Amino acid sequence: MTEERLIISRKTNNRFFLMIAIGVVMLIAGIIFMAIGGGAGHGEGHGEAHDVVSWSKRLIVNLWLNNVYFSGIAVTAVFIVAVHYVAYGGWYVLVKRIPEALAYYLPIGGIVMLLLFLIGRHDIFHWTHEGLYEVGGPEYDPIIAGKQGYLNFTFFLIRMIIYFGLWILFARLLRKNSINEDMYGGTTYYDKNIVLSGAFLVIYGISSSTSAWDWVMSMDTHWFSTMFGWYVFSSWFVTALAATTLAVIILKQNGYLHLVNANHLHDLGKFVFAFSIFWTYIWFAQFLLYWYANIPEEALYFIDRLGGNNGHYKAIFFLNLIINFAFPFLVLMTRDAKRQMIMLKIVSIAVLAGHWLDFYLMMMPSTLRAESGFGFIEFGTALVFLGVFLLVFTRGLTKASLVPVNHPFLEESVHHHV
């Protein structure tokens, strides 16, 4: 087996920079439109009756949304690698370097999230307002005050640093061993990574849930769901799988990864298919109970997203289900669809966009209420993050051979057959 190095041409790199530049221009345009008045895109017209959302709030919520989405892809990519180590997975060895490289976004995600929390926490999280905790004060909220032991500035910050610290540490260690294995061979690095992966899975199992409570669920401060950690995890997982699949296909179409064949694509397709269903299962398990019991404080979440907010989110609510369940379920059902690049590519892109929309639906109703929309700010932020993510990801890919030449299961992966 020979090494295979990815070369990112200047042109491709420039394309990513162009993406970022366009994003920034759109952002500035969006901010100017909003600052002058009127508001960009969808939110127009409602402005007078409700409190008008400032451009800075809309910008910060959008930044937070994209950062949670992309950091989720990065950390869940480490999870994919770890799962396959612990399960002695052989088939994935040829595509292993892609999730490894996806994790390169983690440090940036951590810094951006830290800064956003420090600067814009009042725009994102209702519970950060001091007045809520003053007994007898005009804004005193006994329910939120009861959650103060967990939801307070210091503890939140400590948790965020711990999550990112551990995630980055394990991503680095797993990657380092993997690269050392390329150079020195033997099974010692493999054995080390199995131990590391086991530890990471435990950490990820806890931190994926708690980070979902912290970063997403606490936006609806009154509301709670015991399914929420799983819900966000399933969304991240299927997104990371779709990102891996899409990257494999694009690399293959550009002449790399020549050892990867339809059998590997088939397994990736099965993963995307299966975890789209898994996401739907979690989504429905959460919805059904709240819909059936119809207890006001619980049903509020779905009221905000269906009839509430002037029905602002109704279309997105159902589109979310169609694009993330019905579409991958029906399209990827047959064996042939999973083995064809074009089908997989379409579904991966749909799933990536669909789960971005899923996070949009988790965050926007609780922060911007009926004032959110799809304007320059939304697309601009998404483009900037996508550009940065691709830049970091491709740089990570070029740092090592695309084929892990000394992985003990490489031979098995090359002869993988479904």
Partner 1 sequence: MNKKYILGIYDDEDILLDAIEKIRAAGTKIYDVFSPYPVHGIDDVLGIKRSRLPIAAFIFGLCGMSFALWMMIWMMGFDWPMIIGGKPHIALPSFIPITFELTVLFSAFGMVWTFFIVERMIPTFRVNVFDKRSTDDKFVMAIEVKEGVTDMKALNNLLRSSGAIEVNEKEVVK
Interface residues toward partner 1, by CB under 8 A = 284, 287-288, 291-292, 294, 333-335, 417
Instruction: Specify the residue, 207 or 286, whose C-beta has the smaller distance to partner 1.
Output: 286
Burial of 129 (0-12, 13-18, 19+ CB in 10 A): middle
Residue 4 region by backbone torsions, left for phi larger than 0, else alpha for psi between -120 and 50, else beta: beta
Rounded distance between C-alpha atoms, residue 201 and residue 196, angstroms = 9
Q: How far is the CB of 416 from partner 1 (least distance, A)?
A: 11
Q: How far is the CB of 408 from partner 1 (least distance, A)?
A: 20
Instruction: Specify the residue, 181 or 304, whose C-beta has the smaller distance to partner 1.
Output: 304
Element (H, E) at 55: helix 55-86
Instruction: Specify the residue, 242 or 259, whose C-beta has the smaller distance to partner 1.
Output: 259
DSSP string, 133-185: GSTTSTT--HHHHHTTTTSSHHHHHHHHHHHHHHHHHHHHHHHHHHHHHHHH-
Q: How far is the CB of 357 from partner 1 (least distance, A)?
A: 21
Angle at 232 between CA 104 and CA 175, to 5 degrees: 20
Rounded distance between C-alpha atoms, residue 280 and residue 231, angstroms = 9
Q: How far is the CB of 342 from partner 1 (least distance, A)?
A: 20
Q: How far is the CB of 345 from partner 1 (least distance, A)?
A: 23
Instruction: Specify the residue, 88 or 291, whose C-beta has the smaller distance to partner 1.
Output: 291
- What secondary structure letter does DSSP report for 51? P
Q: How far is the CB of 190 from partner 1 (least distance, A)?
A: 24
Instruction: Specify the residue, 68 or 347, whose C-beta has the smaller distance to partner 1.
Output: 347
Instruction: Specify the residue, 25 or 333, whose C-beta has the smaller distance to partner 1.
Output: 333
Sign of CA dihedral 199, 202, 206, 211: positive
Rounded distance between C-alpha atoms, residue 100 and residue 244, angstroms = 10
